[in-house]
Amino acid sequence: MNALRQFYLEIPVVTRAYTTVCVLTTLAVHLDLVSPLQLYFNPTLIVRKFQIWRLATTFLYFGTIGISFFFNMVFTYRYCRMLEDGSFRGRSSDFVMMFIFGGVLMTFFGIFVNLLFLGQAFTLMLVYVWSRRNPLVPMNFFGVLNFQAPYLPWVLLCCSMILGNTVWVDVIGMGVGHIYYVLEDVYPTLSNGYRLIKTPYFLKRLFNEHIERNFQAAAEDRPGGFPWGGEGQPLLPEENADDGQDEEPANPAAPAAAAPQ
């Protein structure tokens, strides 16, 4: 139990909080403490009945406990943690701002495509942003298909189509992830470009990040996985990216469905 507790406490704070709430929400439904009818996204009930909790619970419920729930949780935990340990290391407030930005956009798009739960779309957004920031990481799909990280969201989209699932979940997740990637990683690097997504001061203060610190950003923070500014060769995959710098904590084990080689 001590080892399990230590492992849990070592999970980055945002990843730990989000995955814990997702698991607890699903368990509450499984134990009949709440009903999915009280959790799904319904704009009419939100506006007319002031059931504003639905704006959050639509991202927390991943269906009944089973193999689908297990894989969703593994993907959510893995890519959420890799982002927080990687490009958002030391910037938990910016990571929360990404959650807020993605949640608002998905809620808006969800109105037009009539999606009840947006948790899987949120996971796809995390996967998409991670894949674009780690373009050189090789991936493996069930030991059959080899590809680079940027193709991972498209592979998952094809799987959804093959299984007969609605593709709108994947499309919204990838679309919102791409919008965030462009605004945060691409546009600021252009001439006269700047960051459009600003993290509020109260979030920085909440995570004790409001004090300016003089440190060099991690290499993977640079857009597209390249050392912008002419500092050398493109970054290597994650396990070799540091090249003499302090090593980051090891990433959690990848699910078999899409594991880096």
What is the per-residue pLDDT for 218? 54
The yes-or-no verdict on residue 176 having pLDDT over 90 is yes
- The answer to whether residue 119 sits within a structural domain is yes
What is the per-residue pLDDT for 260? 54
Q: What is the pLDDT of residues 70-103, one digit of tens each?
A: 888 998 999 999 999 998 998 999 999 999 999 9
- The answer to whether residue 68 sits within a structural domain is yes
Mean pLDDT of 4-8: 88
- The answer to whether residue 154 sits within a structural domain is yes
The yes-or-no verdict on residue 221 having pLDDT over 70 is no
| pLDDT more than 70, % of the chain | 80
H-only helix segments in 86-215? 92-113, 119-133, 152-162, 168-181, 201-206
- The answer to whether residue 230 sits within a structural domain is no
- The answer to whether residue 98 sits within a structural domain is yes
Q: What is the pLDDT of residues 197-219, one digit of tens each?
A: 989 999 988 888 766 554 455 55
What is the per-residue pLDDT for 246? 46
Q: What is the pLDDT of residues 104-156, one digit of tens each?
A: 999 999 888 888 899 999 999 999 999 999 998 898 877 778 889 899 999 88
- The answer to whether residue 222 sits within a structural domain is no
- Bridge partners (DSSP) of residue 148 are 138
- Structural domain harbouring 98: 1-207
Under 8 Å CB-to-CB from 180, ≥6 apart: which residues? 98, 101, 102, 125, 129, 197
The yes-or-no verdict on residue 231 having pLDDT over 50 is no
- Residue 194: which CATH number? 1.20.1540
d(CA 246, CA 29): 43
What is the per-residue pLDDT for 210? 63
Structural domain count of the chain: 1
CB-side neighbour CA atoms (13 Å) of 8: 9
What is the per-residue pLDDT for 61? 92
- The answer to whether residue 224 sits within a structural domain is no
Q: Mean pLDDT in the chain?
A: 82
Report which of residues 3 and 248 the model is more confident about.
3
Residue position matching structure tokens 């990433």: 251
Answer yes or no: pTM beyond 0.85: no
What is the per-residue pLDDT for 141? 78
SS3 content of the chain, % helix, strand, coil (to 5): 55, 5, 40
What is the per-residue pLDDT for 226? 43
- The answer to whether residue 217 sits within a structural domain is no
The yes-or-no verdict on residue 182 having pLDDT over 70 is yes
Buried b (16+ CB within 10 A) or exposed e, 92-115: bbbbbbbbebbbebbbebbeeeeb
CB-CB neighbours of 6 under 10 Å: 9
What is the per-residue pLDDT for 245? 45
